[in-house]
């Protein structure tokens, strides 16, 4: 008999909701057509959640993240952060993308981390410098404060991007397949570092991926989106899984069940 998965649906709960996405449908337009990205997607993210949106390429998960960031306006439905409707980008939501060119190459690592702090005009230059150095120390890059991005590895650039995002103390950190372009060993190391950083800071994370294994180890909750257009297939609790049990039968059973939920319409009903 195959092992029974310990993944279970999450019961509905309203307390401690930081982000609420309700019945959100999204579209993107080209010169020739209008394409529906998501259809009536709803979910809640609670304080200190590691909430993962998982789905195949083209299911609208990145577009959904951009809508939470305020870059894309929903066709219908609404997005609330701390009870306020999201209508535009803001410093309460910081985004880390997978592209490594998100760091201006003419700025040093420290200057890159300082940039959003100075742009907000919320702190002085001296304060921004101190915050940047602390953030770099948190991600283990204090020795590279005066280096330029082109001298860093891909994984190090992502750590700078994470430090820059967390330095502003956002309400929620948004990560769009941040490790997808890394080799397997670097990707796992970055996942481990992200979780270690979460244990230290306990920030709220909304993380997009198309990797089932990554979703299981990074997230404590997983939202499954169907192939295009993205619809909610299920919301699952993945708190029990981590790097230490990726080879366990329960982990493999959970991975297989998620695959069925994503791609087998009959099983998803």
pLDDT in tens, 4-46: 444 444 444 455 899 999 999 999 877 788 889 999 999 999 9
Residue that is last in its domain, among 169, 188, 223:
169
pTM of the predicted structure, to 2 decimals:
0.88
Quote the domain boundaries for residue 243.
17-92+170-263
Query: What whole-number distance in Å separates Cα of residue 125 and Cα of residue 110?
Result: 12
Mean pLDDT of 223-239: 93
Instruction: Indicate whether 174 and 248 sit together in one domain.
Output: yes
Instruction: Indicate whether 175 and 111 sit together in one domain.
Output: no
Instruction: Indicate whether 112 and 233 sit together in one domain.
Output: no
Name the one residue in this structure whose structure tokens are 């057509």.
Answer: 33
What pLDDT score does 11 carry?
A: 44
- Which residue stretches of the chain are H helix? 61-69, 109-120, 125-138, 154-167, 184-201, 212-218, 249-263, 265-268
Q: List 45's β-bridge partners, or say none.
A: 19
Is position 268 within any domain?
Answer: no
In the chain, pLDDT over 90 holds for what percent of residues?
70
Q: Could you tell me which of 92, 75, 77 has the C-alpha nearest to residue 43? A: 77
Is position 130 within any domain?
Answer: yes
What pLDDT score does 180 carry?
A: 87
Instruction: Indicate whether 151 and 119 sit together in one domain.
Output: yes
- The CATH code of the domain that includes 32 is 3.40.50.300
Is position 140 within any domain?
Answer: yes
Residue that is last in its domain, among 137, 169, 201:
169
Instruction: Indicate whether 224 and 238 sit together in one domain.
Output: yes
């Amino acid at each position: 008999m195959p092992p029974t998965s310990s993944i279970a649906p999450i019961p509905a709960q309203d307390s401690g909701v930081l982000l609420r996405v309700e019945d959100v449908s999204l579209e993107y337009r080209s010169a020739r057509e209008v394409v529906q990205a998501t259809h009536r997607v709803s979910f809640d993210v609670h304080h200190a959640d590691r909430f993962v949106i998982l789905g195949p390429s083209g299911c609208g998960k990145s577009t959904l993240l951009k809508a939470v960031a305020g870059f894309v306006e929903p066709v219908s439905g609404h997005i609330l952060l701390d009870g306020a409707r999201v209508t535009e980008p803001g410093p309460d939501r910081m985004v880390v993308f997978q592209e490594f060119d998100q760091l201006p190459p003419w700025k040093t690592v420290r200057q890159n981390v300082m940039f959003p702090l100075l742009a907000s005009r919320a702190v002085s230059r001296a304060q921004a410098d101190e915050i940047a150095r602390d953030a770099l120390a948190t991600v283990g890059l204090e020795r590279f404060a005066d280096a330029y991005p082109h001298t860093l590895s891909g994984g190090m650039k992502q750590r700078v991007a994470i430090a820059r995002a967390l330095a502003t103390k956002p309400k929620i950190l948004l990560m769009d397949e941040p490790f997808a372009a890394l080799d397997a060993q670097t990707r796992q190391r970055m996942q481990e570092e992200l979780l270690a950083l979460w244990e230290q800071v306990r920030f709220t994370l909304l993380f997009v991926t198309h990797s089932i294994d990554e979703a299981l180890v990074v997230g404590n909750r997983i939202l499954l989106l169907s192939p295009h257009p993205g619809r909610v297939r299920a919301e699952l609790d993945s708190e029990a899984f981590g790097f230490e049990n990726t080879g366990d039968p329960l982990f493999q059973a959970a991975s297989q069940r998620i695959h069925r939920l994503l791609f087998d319409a009959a099983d998803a009903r």
